[in-house]
Amino acid sequence: MSIQISNQEVSENGGGRKKNHLPNFLLSVRLKYVKLGYHYLISNALYLLLVPLLVIASAHLSTLNFQDLLQLWNHLKFNLVAFTLGSSLMVFLATLYFMSRPRKVYLVNFACYKPDPARFCTREIFVERSQLTGSFTEENMAFQKKILERSGLGQKTYLPEAVLRVPPNPCMAEARKEAEIVMFGAIDELLEKTGVKPKDIGILIVNCSLFNPTPSLSAMIVNRYKLRGNILSYNLGGMGCSAGLISIDLAKQMLQVHPNSYALVVSMENITLNWYFGNDRSMLVSNCLFRMGGAAILLSNRASDRRRSKYQLIHTVRTHKGADDKSFGCVFQREDDCRNIGVSLSKDLMAVAGEALKTNITTLGPLVLPMSEQLLFLATLVARKVLKMKIKPYIPDFKLAFEHFCIHAGGRAVLDEMEKNLELSDWHMEPSRMTLYRFGNTSSSSLWYELAYTEAKGRIRRGDRTWQIAFGSGFKCNSAVWKALRTINPAKEKNPWMDEIHEFPVHVPRIAPVNSS
């Protein structure tokens, strides 16, 4: 953020000569480097304090001679009991520490499903097939067209066969077919990448918000891959687009109590039975944004897997605002006046999301932000709350904590607000915007298409930190922080971007007209 400072005239040497201060952009550059210097100083303060102490200690030790060391040894011999007890206590405490500390959770690999080109849904196909259903009024077709033109979606998103068919065929059999294609496609690729046998998987977590058949989606996976009988299986429903990170957090908790285990997480949404065929505008927006997709992720707590894993899970932070009625009802599945079922989006959605984000980053900030940013935040907080000074709240610079950002591609408006509030650059927003453009809103799996994009661009370096953040019904805001364990070589990767990554990024116009037939 540039800081504007007005030019001032000052007298020089008591005479009439006057000159201007530095131009505003030079002042901004200077202040930028002052802040970077401050950040470096605070971040390395511990080392700067320790170095003089180590120098003094080294100088003192260098003055010791053989007689001094012999005297120290004799002193220890006369206090053998105390020395032995002290050493035993240190060993006991060290053992207790290593036994009780949390197990490290590694992301071995992940896979994103890429549908067949036959499932392509251009903007024109969307409008054409929607008109052919005969379900929508002329005014609401114009409304959907307007939303679609401003959505940020491109011409190669995917919809299931049952929705693209004329007439559409949204039935249970077609919904199961879509779920199987997406889940099994992602899992097959993941098992091929990792070489893990299905019988080695001890924990299975599946999340799909709107499609929950009996037997469950998790049972479908157990049956397909003949997973072992004592597998710990979970099926999460109704938790919205942030359910993927809830699944990651649940897997993390399970891996803390089950040593030497693999956890398979599957994140997806089902379109077939959740396409809205009514004329309530609050429910029509989801038709324009949601598209077909899914992801499978393999987590491990085995120390032997660290070497081949891509990332280590550092933090998960979950925020739930469901106690507030406005937050609870802003994303709501219901029937319209004609008994058509759809998901209604409230006009309060962006405000509710902003409050949830604020709560989430307030918890996450102290865990990830460098001390320099925390001190600045604390100073402005004290100035505003205690000293009653009229200054703007300080927004911490999360770019100092993370190299990469994966923000749920829920829609263009969400991404615009996140970019503005977190003061992110186009480069930081690129994975999210390109995912929205290429694949649309794939619900809880969108974060993994974004991470796959970052990998395909060759941006992941060893030690890089990635922040995944997603919003979901309820209302929830959830975060996960990953640290790269190795540099990702895109030439060795297989993901849905690899055969076309050279085409990205692309310019996404604010309005992309739908060509009339």
Q: Is 360 a catalytic residue?
A: no
Angle at alpha carbon of residue 187, lines to 473 and 152, rounded to 5°: 45
Q: Which long-range contacts (CB under 8 A, 24 or more apart) does 66-72 make?
A: none
**3-state DSSP of 60-115:** HHHCCCHHHHHHHHHHHHHCHHHHHHHHHHHHHHHHHHHHHCCCCEEEEEEEECCC
Cβ atoms of 330 and 351 within 8 Å: the answer is no
241 catalytic residue (yes or no): yes
Q: Among this protein's residues, is 21 annotated catalytic?
A: no
Q: Taking each helix axis from N to C terminus, what angle separates 138-149 and 123-133, rounded to the nearest 10 degrees? A: 160
Provide the token pair at 205: 């977590």
User: How big is the CA angle at 315 (ends 444 and 212), to the nearest 5 degrees?
Assistant: 25
| Pairing label, strands 294-300, 311-320 | unpaired
Q: Which residues are CB-neighbours of 363 under 8 A, at least 6 positions away? A: 317, 319
For residue 494, give both structure tokens.
Answer: 């297989």
Contact assessment for residue 488 and residue 455, using Cβ atoms and an 8 Å cutoff:
yes
Strands (E), 143-209: 157-158, 201-207
Strands (E), 437-475: 465-472
Burial bucket for residue 516 (CB in 10 Å: 0-12, 13-18, 19+): exposed
Task: Please tell me which residue in 112, 288, 408, 478 is annotated as part of the active site.
Answer: 408
Query: CA 144 to CA 439: how far, in whole Å?
Result: 18
Q: What is the largest CA-CA distance in the chain?
A: 100
With vertex at residue 23, the alpha carbon angle to CA 19 and CA 29, rounded to the nearest 5 degrees, is 135
Minimal CA–CA distance to 159: which of 442, 386, 475, 376?
A: 442
Q: Could you say which of 441, 477, 478, 495 is catalytic? A: 441
Q: In this structure, are residues 187 and 221 in contact, taking their beta carbons and an 8 Å threshold?
A: yes
Query: Concatenated DSSP letters for 313-349?
Result: EEEEEEEE-TTSHHHHTSEEEEE-TT--EEEEE-TTH
Catalytic residue among 207, 279, 301, 320: 320
| From 208, 241, 330, 477, active-site residue | 241
Q: What span, in angstroms and rounded, lies between the C-alpha atoms of 353 and 124?
A: 31
Tokens standing for residue 66 = 């053989």
To the query of whether residue 320 is one of the catalytic residues in this protein, the response is yes
Residue among 404, 477, 478, 495 flagged as catalytic: 404
Q: What is the DSSP letter of 304?
A: G
Question: Known catalytic residues?
Answer: 241, 320, 404, 408, 441
